[in-house]
């Protein structure tokens, strides 16, 4: 039976969060009225916990209810291989509410689908931790009054810290601004940024000078704030006027709170677990501009937060932990009151729910997702989001929230498939509405289900291998001509073709200059590593540094400009380069964004329904380099 759960912070409206805060203010009343009397809570913690678990258990007892628990899930049937689905089903007959912490992203959503009672997420992998966010917001509100307009610095492991993800969504919803100060390689993941932009129109901008980095770390601070007009234009070139504009916009920021987090070592492999990490201590406390900045931490802390801060009035993390009890009492009462009032399936604004019509279909690319690790407890269910980066059609994993690009779409009745293209937007919508849409990860998957490929219109060659080579040479000449500091030069290609062209440009530059140049690759839509080192390939060198570099961003074709826009925001998310220049092999014109490439191989004005395909030998063996143009024949039309 469906019931009201708390899996994501998105399950609560702002009004409901305010209501929970009011209940928390009156926690003593809830206690004396014993509003939880007769209820049983089961705590299922597959990962260690002190605060979350004990404060939940204490809350339930204070409400007059009782608690059952497995002291260690390794001592439960989970150790014998029981699925989360079965555990949820079974424990539902022993308790009225399940409080679950699990190491896989999305595991609590899966359990909520199988449980017959209410389920609360006490942290699922690196995904979300909504009840911690309730404590955080409550603490902030108590300290600072309203949340709207506050500037909150989040610092540390923004990639794996689940408390951070729930917190930034909530701060955006309440209209607070966020300054990110990530440890190297631990920036906010792309899926979180994509959601912030899609749902709350929040984008990142660099923060002024050494305001924060001086007292905290070497990493660059970035400001997450509601979108400003013209911000895209700002990103197209980084010159002094733009820098000063940005600087004036965010310099002299009032920092209301500093939210520090621990490095989530348990979610990292090998090298990443070592390395430097920001810390906060006396230096921070002595800076005048932080005199009213409260310091928060979800705890436990390791070395990142010095005990010196404990004695200072601004260190409020123990109070923050103490609020765990009134907040969780309030939450339990709030949920019990709504036991039989399920919320409709939560859905991102403008998204459609997609269930694959076949037993096999697209896979979430997040290796830590429950759908990958325990597919039997989940369904092939996604949200379809239109208008993704570069006009892509995006699938959002219903469990872990990761987003990835639709590669191949199929029509269930005619059993045809083709690569997704923006011109198929309308067609795909119709198929979705009539329940005939299928989505595949690979041609193999489609063909194994008996689908056949669609044909496209006739092709016309517009560049051959020799012309492509000439274009690369001519762009490389211009790049060197404009370059005043070759030591800072970094060629950054957009995967896949942009990266291949970038590598050819770098090889050309090397020939002309008799020296090596660094090359990197950006992955626009994938759940894995966004930024990869290509050359020098030495893994020992660590992540590619973007800070203060003169970046040549390379792509094969520019049309709407969306891909480049996304690439630029990814670059600025991790650091502030000295400049970014854009090189493209083909410029198709018709930009949606105010972007102008600095280096163009060939201008080919072309219509929307046309496609330009760049084929590069290295990507497709046995074929010569070429650029072809052709029309899309809608799979609906008779051929």
Query: Could you list the residues that contact ligand NCD (CB under 6 A)?
Result: 51-52, 123, 129, 132, 162-163, 262, 298-299
Burial 83-114 (b: 16+ CB within 10 A, else e): bbbbbbeebbeebbbbbbbbbbbbbbbbbbbb
State both tokens at 163. Answer: 């408390």
**C-alpha distance from residue 606 to each of 91, 302, 390, 459, 587 (Å):** 61, 57, 17, 14, 9
Burial 317-340 (b: 16+ CB within 10 A, else e): beebbebbbbbbbbbbbbbbeeee
User: At closest approach, how far in Å is the CB of 262 from ligand NCD?
Assistant: 4
User: At closest approach, how far in Å is the CB of 51 from ligand NCD?
Assistant: 5
DSSP label of 227:
P
User: At closest approach, how far in Å is the CB of 171 from ligand NCD?
Assistant: 17
**In which element (H, E) is residue 584 found?**
strand 579-587
* 226/300 with CB nearer ligand NCD: 300
Bridge partners, 311 (sequence order): none
* 60/299 with CB nearer ligand NCD: 299
Strand pairing of 202-206 and 177-182? unpaired
Q: How many CA atoms are closer than 13 Å to the CA of 510, on its beta-carbon side?
A: 14
Secondary structure (DSSP) of 454-516: PP---EEEEEEHHHHHHHHHHHHHHHHHH-S-GGGEEEEEETTHHHHHHHHHHHHHHHHHTS-
User: At closest approach, how far in Å is the CB of 321 from ligand NCD?
Assistant: 7
Backbone angle region of 551, left / alpha / beta, with phi > 0 → left and psi within -120 to 50 → alpha: beta
Residues constituting the chain: 639
User: At closest approach, how far in Å is the CB of 153 from ligand NCD?
Assistant: 17
User: At closest approach, how far in Å is the CB of 323 from ligand NCD?
Assistant: 12
* 152/490 with CB nearer ligand NCD: 152
Secondary structure (DSSP) of 172-225: HHTT-EEEEEEPTT-PPPHHHHHHHHHHH-EEEEEPPTTTTTTTS-SSPPEEEE
* 94/318 with CB nearer ligand NCD: 318
Secondary structure (DSSP) of 107-127: HHHHHHHH-SSEEEEEEETTT
User: At closest approach, how far in Å is the CB of 322 from ligand NCD?
Assistant: 12
User: At closest approach, how far in Å is the CB of 448 from ligand NCD?
Assistant: 40
* 31/101 with CB nearer ligand NCD: 101
User: At closest approach, how far in Å is the CB of 122 from ligand NCD?
Assistant: 7
Cα 587 from Cα 604, distance rounded (Å): 6
User: At closest approach, how far in Å is the CB of 303 from ligand NCD?
Assistant: 13
User: At closest approach, how far in Å is the CB of 501 from ligand NCD?
Assistant: 42
* 259/334 with CB nearer ligand NCD: 259
Cα 536 from Cα 371, distance rounded (Å): 36
* 205/332 with CB nearer ligand NCD: 332
* 320/445 with CB nearer ligand NCD: 320
User: At closest approach, how far in Å is the CB of 163 from ligand NCD?
Assistant: 5
* 102/162 with CB nearer ligand NCD: 162
Backbone angle region of 54, left / alpha / beta, with phi > 0 → left and psi within -120 to 50 → alpha: alpha
* 127/565 with CB nearer ligand NCD: 127
**C-alpha distance from residue 605 to each of 249, 468, 610 (Å):** 37, 17, 10
Cα 515 from Cα 506, distance rounded (Å): 10
> Angle of helix 324-337 relative to helix 130-144, nearest 10 degrees?
120
User: At closest approach, how far in Å is the CB of 52 from ligand NCD?
Assistant: 4
* 131/407 with CB nearer ligand NCD: 131
C-alpha dihedral sign at 198, 402, 189, 553: negative
* 48/528 with CB nearer ligand NCD: 48
State both tokens at 412. Answer: 């269930």
Backbone φ and ψ for 361, nearest 5 degrees, come out as: -175, -160
* 87/132 with CB nearer ligand NCD: 132
């Amino acid at each position: 039976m469906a019931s009201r759960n708390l899996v994501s912070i998105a399950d609560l409206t702002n009004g409901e969060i305010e209501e929970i805060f009011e209940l928390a203010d009156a926690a003593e009343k809830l206690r004396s009225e014993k509003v939880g009397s007769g209820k049983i809570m089961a705590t299922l913690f597959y990962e260690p916990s002190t605060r979350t678990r004990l404060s939940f258990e204490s809350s339930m007892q204070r409400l007059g209810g009782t608690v059952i628990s497995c002291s260690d899930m390794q001592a439960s049937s989970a150790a014998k291989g029981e699925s989360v689905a079965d555990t949820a089903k079974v424990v539902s007959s022993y308790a009225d509410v399940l409080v679950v912490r699990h190491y896989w992203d999305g595991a609590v959503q899966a359990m909520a689908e199988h449980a017959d009672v209410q389920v609360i997420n006490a942290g699922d992998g690196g995904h979300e931790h909504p009840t911690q966010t309730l404590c955080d917001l409550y603490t902030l509100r108590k300290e600072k009054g309203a949340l709207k307009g506050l500037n909150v610095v989040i610092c540390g492991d923004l990639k794996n810290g689940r408390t951070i993800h729930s917190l930034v969504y909530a701060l955006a919803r309440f209209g607070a601004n966020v300054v990110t100060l990530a440890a190297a390689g631990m920036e906010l993941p792309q899926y979180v940024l994509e959601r912030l932009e899609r749902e709350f129109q929040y984008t990142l901008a660099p923060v002024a000078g050494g305001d924060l980095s001086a007292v905290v770390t070497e990493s660059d601070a970035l400001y997450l704030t509601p979108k400003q007009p013209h911000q895209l234009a700002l990103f197209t070139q980084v010159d002094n006027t733009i820098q000063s504009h940005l600087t004036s916009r965010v310099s002299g920021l009032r920092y209301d709170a500093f939210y520090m987090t621990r490095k989530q070592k348990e979610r990292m492999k090998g090298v990443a677990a070592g390395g430097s990490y920001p810390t906060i201590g006396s230096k921070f406390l002595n800076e005048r501009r932080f005199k009213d900045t409260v310091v928060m931490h979800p705890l436990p802390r390791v070395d990142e937060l010095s005990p010196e801060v404990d004695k200072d009035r601004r260190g409020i993390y123990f109070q923050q932990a103490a609020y765990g009890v009134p907040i969780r009492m309030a939450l339990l009462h709030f949920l019990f009151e709504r036991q039989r009032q399920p919320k409709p399936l939560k859905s991102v604004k403008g998204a459609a729910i997609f269930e694959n019509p076949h037993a096999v279909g697209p896979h979430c690319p997040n290796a830590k997702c429950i759908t990958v690790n325990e597919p039997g407890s989940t369904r092939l269910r996604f949200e379809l989001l239109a208008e993704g980066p570069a006009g892509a059609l995006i699938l959002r994993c219903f469990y872990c929230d990761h987003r990835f690009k639709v590669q191949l779409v199929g029509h269930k009745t005619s059993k045809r498939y083709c690569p997704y293209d923006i011109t198929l937007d309308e067609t795909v919508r119709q198929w979705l509405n009539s329940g005939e849409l299928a989505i595949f990860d690979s041609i193999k998957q489609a063909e194994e289900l008996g689908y056949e490929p669609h044909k496209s219109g006739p092709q016309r060659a517009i560049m051959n291998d020799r012309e492509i080579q000439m274009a690369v040479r001519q762009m490389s000449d211009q790049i060197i001509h404009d370059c005043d500091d070759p030591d800072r030069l970094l060629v950054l290609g957009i995967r896949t073709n942009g990266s291949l062209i970038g590598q050819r440009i770098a090889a050309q530059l090397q020939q002309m200059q008799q020296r090596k140049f660094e090359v990197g690759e950006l992955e626009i839509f994938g759940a894995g590593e966004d930024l990869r080192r290509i050359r020098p390939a030495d893994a020992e060198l660590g992540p590619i540094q973007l800070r203060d570099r003169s970046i040549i961003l390379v792509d094969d074709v520019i049309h709407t400009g969306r891909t480049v826009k996304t690439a630029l925001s990814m670059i600025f998310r991790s650091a502030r380069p000295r400049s970014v220049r854009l090189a493209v092999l083909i410029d198709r014109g018709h930009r949606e964004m105010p972007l102008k490439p600095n280096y163009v191989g060939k201008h080919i004005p072309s219509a929307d329904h046309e496609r330009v395909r760049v084929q590069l030998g290295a990507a497709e063996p046995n074929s010569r380099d070429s650029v072809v143009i052709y029309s899309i024949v809608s799979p609906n039309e008779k051929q």
